[in-house]
Chain A
Amino acid sequence: MTYNWTPFSYLVINLARQIRPNERTFSGVNSNLPMLACLLAKRAYDFHYTFLNVAGGVEAEPTTIPHSSSDPAIVVGSPAVFDQEDFYDLSARGGLDMVYLGCAQIDALGRTNVSAIGSWHEPKVKLPGGGGAAVLMPTARRVVTWRTEHSKRALVEKLDFITAAGNLQTLVTPIAVFQKRNGRLALESWNPQVSLADVVKQTGFEFDAALATNTEPATARELDALSSLDPDGAFESEVRI
């Protein structure tokens, strides 16, 4: 069996694989990879799920794929507009099944920091902030995050600041997929282009790898869908690793 993941294809396809049939799934601001994952799932998988996004789209069928995940282009084709008030309130009352939320740092408990590197009051780097994370992470049923850099400074033993905590279930990096098990992130599968030892070496927290396997290779449909979404490689070139 041959594997030819790129960091970009590994991230997008494994983010798409977290989408489950008949669920309500939401992609937010600053989230090009989840936006692509949601659109990929619509093209590569036969099951139905409800695709909501921060631009207000409901089951959107965009004709062009924007490079801003809050762009009105991902409302195109929607039979309804579901705005900020609506989707946060939906999550608050337990009606949002899965949401993608970004992170700069993540710890073994699946808590995230998107606020600052260093102390919040004297930051080395002021990060953008978590958007809705502090509200969505405890209220959405399941949260999926991703990090384009798999390193000890991103996957950390101790966060510099806890922006959000709660129902984080999944972390996808260019080389690994973690799932929360018994309250801690455990390795579910890894990119066989690297070794398990590499994954351990590049991770700042200890994790259980007992059940981990090689990540299933991308299917032809997944790869076709991805290339249809990024025909000129513009999104792929945005993923700086």
Chain B
Amino acid sequence: MGNYGPKKLCTLNALIERIPDDTSIALGGVFLHRGPFAAVRELVRQQKRNLEIIKTAPAYDLDLLCRSGAVSKAQAGIIAMEGNFGLAPWSRKAIEKKEIVLIEHACPTLIAGMRAARYGLPFQPIAGVHGSELAALNNWKAIKDPYGSGKEVYVIPAIVPDVAIIHVHEMDEYGNARVFGSPFWDRVITRAAKRLLLTAERIVSTDELRKQPELTLIPGFMVEAAAHVPRGAWPGSMSGYYDIDYGAVENYLIDSTDTLETHFNDAPEAEAQTATYASNED
């Protein structure tokens, strides 16, 4: 067997301990789908502060972090709980009360910034944006095609997240990771961030991944650390594995400290985390 380098597996607790306060974090997934939500809850448990969250379509994740006072800045294209849940109440309040700074993007302009990072460029041209006041709001510049077509093209400055956190379906102990269903924007995000942390539903053997390497979205050499976190996208969905837990989302949205505590206790990773904390205290 080959030498695949260092193993990346650690506990969820240890994974999130790698993230200091004042970090910009790109989160994978879209709305309530395949978000690294157990990792987000662990950010709250570890009482992180002054985080910047970068995600095209945040929902529960940004809302929970705002509710917990962990965020000082967000860059996003659309913030909502989606479906029949409407607006994300705590992130909305945090923005209206200026508890956090919002950089309002269109989803693809946020990704254009991360594409610039991915390509190692200071900015990224993008189609569209014309006629939108987001351009003036964010001071985005348009430049003339230097090759003479006469077209004006908006250019978005590079966005380089300090860390990206992605939740994946399958991963080996070296961090080689597969995502089933849509990768959403996660290919760009994982290439744009300076550091990459993963959580995974299942741990599989490297031999298993070698049978169809083209199914691996993220090669392990790019991954700094990773944790095995079954149901790590709860209360959201994980394509092919489980659906949104609508009851849990409804309970989360009830405005009381009790329901938030219950929500954390109900989280699938709670038992494992309690065990970890207990062993740390020994």
Contact = CB atoms under 8 A, between A and B. Distances in A.
A59 to B, nearest CB: 15
The 8 closest A-B pairs by CB, nearest first: A165-B131, A56-B182, A135-B128, A92-B127, A72-B239, A134-B132, A134-B106, A131-B78
A111 B181 contact: no
Nearest to A163: B132
Given A128-B78, A131-B107, A32 B182 contact: no
Given A32-B84, A75-B181, 11 more contacts: A29-B78, A30-B82, A32-B83, A68-B32, A84-B182, A114-B78, A115-B104, A125-B92, A132-B107, A139-B128, A166-B130
B249 to A, nearest CB: 10
Interface residues of B, number: 50
Nearest to B31: A70
Interface stretch (B38-46, B158-166, B184-192): B184-192
A229 to B, nearest CB: 15
Interface of A: 29-30, 32, 54-56, 66-73, 75, 81, 83-85, 88, 91-93, 111, 114-115, 120, 123, 125-139, 161-166, 238
Contacts of A115: 104, 133-134
A163 B134 contact: yes
Given A88-B108, A134-B129, A166-B131, A68 B83 contact: yes
Interface of B: 30-33, 56-57, 76-80, 82-84, 87-88, 92, 95-96, 102, 104-109, 111, 126-134, 137, 181-185, 187-188, 237, 239-240, 243-244, 246
B128 A134 contact: yes
Given A85-B111, A130-B78, A164 B104 contact: no
B199 to A, nearest CB: 18
Contact of A138 (B130, B184, B239): B130
A55 B182 contact: yes
B33 A164 contact: no
A56 B179 CA distance: 13
